[in-house]
Structures are given as C-alpha cells and as structure tokens.
C-alpha cells in the first residue's frame, strides 16, 4: 500500500514545491539552498547558481512526470510551459517567468518608482 501512494498526486506535489523553490530563487528570497551554502551569499554568482539549482530541480521533476505520463502542465501558465519545454534557463525565463513582468503596466510602475 505504501508504494501505491507514489502516484501522480505525489509527483505533482513535489513539482509544485519545486516550482515554489524556483520562484523563490527568482525573487531572491530565502530557500533551503541558502542554509546549505551560507558562505556563498558573499559571492556575486551566488544568486545565479541558486536559480540554476532550482531550475534543474524543476526540470528533473518535469522529466519524471513526463516519463511516468503524469499531467504536469496544469501547474504552469502557457508561457511557463514553453520555457520548461525549451529547458534552457535563459534571460527571458528570468525576466518574464511571471506574466505581469511582460506588461506595459509593470514597466510603467517600475519607471515611476525608480
């Protein structure tokens, strides 16, 4: 019975957690990674590496869901699915992961506050 609980729901919960982890890394918020490597915060490349690790975790879980034929795409917006399908952590992913970042309204609010 314990092995039967490793189902689609289990993997989707892990995927949702990985998505939150990646988004926290994108937003430069505290993640488990900070606790593992506290000395790295002083290095300029730390946030890039932290995002890369979170992205790799997300892709690994997506890959497992795909191999097991679990529906994972419902957890993401359409453009996030495109980014995940491309598998490359590009500047576009970092800048436009959240849809609101791609609107003129957001640009306008940034200009007013800066």
- What pLDDT digit, counting tens, does each position of 40-49 carry? 878 878 888 9
Helix (H) or strand (E) holding 53: helix 46-67
Residue 99's pLDDT band, with cuts at 50, 70 and 90, is: confident
* Distance in angstroms (rounded) separating the CA atoms of residues 16 and 18: 5
Give the predicted TM-score (pTM) of the model: 0.78
- What pLDDT digit, counting tens, does each position of 50-92 carry? 999 999 999 999 999 999 999 999 999 999 999 999 999 999 9
* Distance in angstroms (rounded) separating the CA atoms of residues 57 and 12: 13
18: tokens are 């990985």
Residue 31 C-alpha from the chain's centroid:
12
| Predicted local confidence at residue 2, as pLDDT | 54
Contact 25, 31 (CB under 8 A): yes
């Amino acid at each position: 019975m314990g092995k039967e609980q490793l189902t689609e729901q289990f993997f989707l919960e892990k995927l949702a957690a990985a998505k939150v982890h990646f988004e926290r890394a994108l937003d430069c918020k505290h993640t488990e990674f900070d606790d593992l490597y506290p000395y790295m915060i002083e290095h300029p490349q730390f946030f890039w590496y932290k995002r890369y690790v979170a992205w790799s975790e997300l892709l690994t879980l997506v890959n497992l869901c795909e191999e097991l034929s679990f529906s994972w795409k419902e957890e993401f917006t359409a453009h996030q699915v495109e980014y995940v399908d491309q598998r490359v952590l590009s500047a576009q992913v970092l800048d436009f992961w959240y849809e609101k970042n791609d609107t003129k309204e957001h640009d306008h609010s940034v200009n007013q506050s800066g």
